[in-house]
Amino acid sequence: MDLSTALAALKDGTLTARDLAEACIAARMERPDARDNPYAAFSAGLLRAQADAADARRQAGQPLSDFDGIPLSLKDNYGTGTVCGGTWPVFAGSPRRLPPMWNQPGGVVGRLLAQGAVITGKTRMVEFAFSGLGANGHWGTPRNPWDRDHHRVPGGSSTGAPLSLTEGSALLALGTDTAGSVRIPAAWNGLHGYKSSRGHLATDGIVPLSPRLDTLGLLAMTADDLIQGYRLLTGTAIDPLADGGTIRIGRAPDVLWQDCSPGVVAAVEAALDRLNALFRPVGTVTVPELDEALALFRRGGLAGAEIYGFLSQELPAWLPSLDAYVGPRIRASADVLDYEARVAFLDRFANGVQALFHDVDILALPTVATTPPLLADLAEPSAYGRANLMALRNCCVANLGDMAAVTLPVGTDAVGCPVGLQLLAPRGADARLLAIARTAARHLAGDD
């Protein structure tokens, strides 16, 4: 069941919050393999307690919102505080529970709870969110469910978020996105994903990776569900797009289409060909200083220096135990000497990006250039580094350039894994981008 269907059923009384909770619990119990568990923490008892409280409010005619009783998962870097007498620990993908100060709810979680949303649990993630592949040496790496014969990574750093949706234990998944950590797992699992523009959604109450680049995001089964999730987070309802023919869609620069795995470009271009009949194509768009921004990202950008500084100051005891996938890269960022110059460049780059949207409404490109790699192929550090940079390449541009972004599933690649189409819009245009994405998704599905 998708989120939009569940909202309608709760409203007309054909479904209860407890019904939804039991369905989530059953879905979780049907996949007991610890290796593929989406969750770092999941409690059937706490899930039932929240659902029963929601049903009691509805029976009294006092639901907190339309979303009272809707089950959703949170990434393991979100604090929740105490809910219905219980709580979930925060590990942020590390092997040790973080101090209690990191389990205080921020503005977004506070709003979710005030609306009556039911938290199913805390989903697994890359340690301190510092990778786009989804591998974790402490907790293990769940398999991407699209390849039943080989252990491919599911994407990260919001690793368990898509798996909570595909197994049916949540109807909406919240993650964080610093360079693609929502969009990569969404694309590699055939889901819809949304990355907010910087500052659009509050990041307090969340363990940081890069405070200058961190954003919140959603993963959902459908584009309509992303719209509903946005309404839950902001209180803003998004009206249907009035006229797709007024939307100018540009093709991202060629560098973001190069070196893709077989089948990726073909799937995205086939979708764009169809969307060009709906929107107004304007050809390839030049993004000023894009090559320089990508080169800076390959040198570590801001995230490496910022997470090293955070851990050194706030969690120094965690530094020696960082797993082999992230530890060497974090420690290599300890001596970044040109941090202020990097900040200044990225401020200039983001301002230049905003200016290009005078001539185009959205940019289109593959969400991820590559097929989800086999976990066995990532054992050697240099191979891991190359795969990680390629997975992040097309997504990091939205964070470096302060854009809102969505990914839509548009087919499969040469090995049968999902491919995503990414749409980018200027900072603050989140609601309009989601309206455009919904129209695009319906057109691609033949529903318009």
Query: Which residues form the catalytic set?
Result: 75, 157, 181
215 and 200 in contact (C-beta within 8 Å)? yes
> Cβ distance 250 to 217 under 8 Å?
no
> In whole angstroms, what separates CA 150 from the centre of its chain?
24
C-alpha span between 10 and 228 (Å, rounded)? 14
Number of Cβ within 10 Å of residue 396's Cβ equals 24
Contact 73, 121 (CB under 8 A): yes
- Residue among 359, 358, 435, 369 nearest 404 (CA): 435
d(CA 215, CA 198): 6
β-pairing, 71-75 vs 172-177, is parallel
Q: How far is the C-alpha of 366 from the C-alpha of 407, rounded, in Å?
A: 9
Residue 19: exposed, middle, or buried by beta-carbon count in 10 A (0-12, 13-18, 19+)? Answer: middle
Q: What's the rounded Cα separation, in Å, for the pair 423 and 407?
A: 6
Structure tokens at 94: 């590390």
Helix H or strand E segment including 395: helix 381-400
C-alpha closest to that of 296 among 370, 361, 346, 359:
346
Where b means 16+ CB within 10 Å and e means fewer, 109-126 reads bbbbbebbbbbbbbbbbb
Burial of 2 (0-12, 13-18, 19+ CB in 10 A): middle
Sign of the C-alpha dihedral computed for residues 98, 100, 101 and 107 taken in this order: positive
- In 10 A of CB 380, how many CB atoms? 9
